[in-house]
């Protein structure tokens, strides 16, 4: 079990069913029963996934006895987005370097064209 | 073991040591020995983490017999960034709604101010 909050979020996201549940909840809050329907899974199996998502802070579950609506907590993903920031900068830099290189090649091609 | 590539990436990121290794590699490629130094971990323990990162496509390891430099593959994180896109839109929308609400409150406050 991951000890820190960010690890718990990444671990919760490392499952296609849990990501599908989040995608469904992005459309609006719903019940466990409705969430289970498209997955051909038992309610306890879905509940287990919801528990993981809830512990990671990615969803909120209502406390009403009969109908416990599940709601997405999209802000919880901001920590993941913040972590990505460093790496996003790296791939932007790579693109910039590629762009510079292409301009350099274009420059050389033009010079060669002129010298002919 | 997660079956799909995106799950493998999230699972690899669900560990603070592995994220620290990526942060170190963001500064430039290095050897396993140098990576292990700040973590007070055995080389086999670090190698195990590197294997997970490599299998997820997040790093590349050189095949030189003596010195196997590790290199970050930042583009591999684009899949994670792409997945986040849907949710980023949701929290932007929430901020927009909050903004609308604050403007509405301001409007009401002004009206009240005028009617006094």
The model's pLDDT over B78-90, given as tens digits with 9 standing for 90+, comes to 999 999 998 988 8
Residue of A6, A8, A11, A13 best to disrupt the B interface, most CBs of B under 10 A: A13
Q: Answer yes or no: do A13 and B10 touch at CB < 8 A.
A: yes
Q: What is the pLDDT of residues B33-49, one digit of tens each?
A: 888 888 888 888 999 99
Burial status of residue A41 (CB atoms within 10 A of its CB: 0-12, 13-18, 19 or more): middle
Report the percentage of chain B scoring pLDDT > 90.
52
Q: What is the ipTM of this complex?
A: 0.80
Q: Which residues contact B19 (CB under 8 A, 6 or more apart)?
A: A6, A83, B13
Instruction: Name the B residues in 57-96 with CB < 8 Å from any A CB.
Output: 72, 74-75, 77-78, 80-81, 83-84, 86-88, 90-91, 94
Q: Which residues of A touch B60 (CB under 8 A)?
A: none
For residue B61, which of B105, B36, B109, B25 has the smallest C-alpha distance?
B25
What is the pLDDT at residue A65? 58
Per DSSP, the residues of B33-61 read: HHHHGGGT--HHHHHHHHHHHHHTTSEEE
Looking at the complex, does the CB of residue A16 fall below 8 Å from at least one CB of chain B?
A: yes
Q: Which residues of A touch B14 (CB under 8 A)?
A: 2, 7-11, 14
Distances in Å between the alpha carbon of A113 and those of A97, A100, A105, A106, B56?
Answer: 24, 20, 12, 10, 45
Q: Give the model's confidence band at B20: pLDDT under 50 very low, under 70 low, under 90 confident, else very high.
A: very high
Q: Give the model's confidence band at B2: pLDDT under 50 very low, under 70 low, under 90 confident, else very high.
A: very low
Which two tokens mark B8? 């493998």
Mean pLDDT of chain B: 87
Q: How crowded is residue A84: how many other Cβ atoms within 10 Å of its Cβ?
A: 17
Nearest to A81 among B11, B26, B84 (CB): B84
What is the pLDDT at residue A87? 92
More confident residue, B57 or A108: B57
Looking at the complex, does the CB of residue A17 fall below 8 Å from at least one CB of chain B?
A: no
- In degrees, rounded to 5, the angle at the alpha carbon of residue B34 between the alpha carbons of residues B29 and B39 is 115
Looking at the complex, does the CB of residue B15 fall below 8 Å from at least one CB of chain A?
A: yes
Which two tokens mark B32? 């396993």
- In degrees, rounded to 5, the angle at the alpha carbon of residue B18 between the alpha carbons of residues A85 and A26 is 50
What is the pLDDT at residue B40? 81
**Using CA atoms, how far apart are residues A107 and A22, in angstroms rounded to an integer?**
49
How many A/B residue pairs have CB atoms within 8 Å?
Answer: 82
Instruction: For residue B75, give the chain A residue with the closest CA.
Output: A91
- Are residues A57 and A5 in contact, defined by beta-carbon separation less than 8 angstroms? yes
Q: Which residues of B touch A78 (CB under 8 A)?
A: 91
Q: What is the pLDDT of residues A26-59, one digit of tens each?
A: 999 998 888 888 888 888 899 999 999 999 999 9
Nearest to B7 among A2, A9, A14 (CB): A14
**pLDDT < 70: residue spans in chain A:** 1-3, 65-66, 115-116
What is the pLDDT at residue B1? 45
């Amino acid at each position: 079990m991951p000890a820190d909050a960010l690890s718990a979020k990444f671990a919760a996201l490392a499952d296609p069913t849990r990501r599908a549940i989040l995608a469904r909840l992005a459309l609006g809050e719903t019940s466990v029963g409705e969430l289970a329907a498209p997955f051909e899974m038992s309610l306890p199996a879905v509940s287990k996934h919801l528990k993981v998502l809830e512990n990671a802070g990615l969803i909120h579950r209502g406390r009403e006895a009969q109908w416990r609506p599940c709601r997405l907590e999209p802000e919880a993903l901001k920590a993941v987005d913040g972590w990505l920031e460093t790496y996003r900068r790296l791939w932007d830099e790579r693109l910039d370097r590629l762009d510079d290189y292409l301009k350099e090649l274009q420059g050389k091609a033009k010079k060669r064209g002129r010298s002919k």
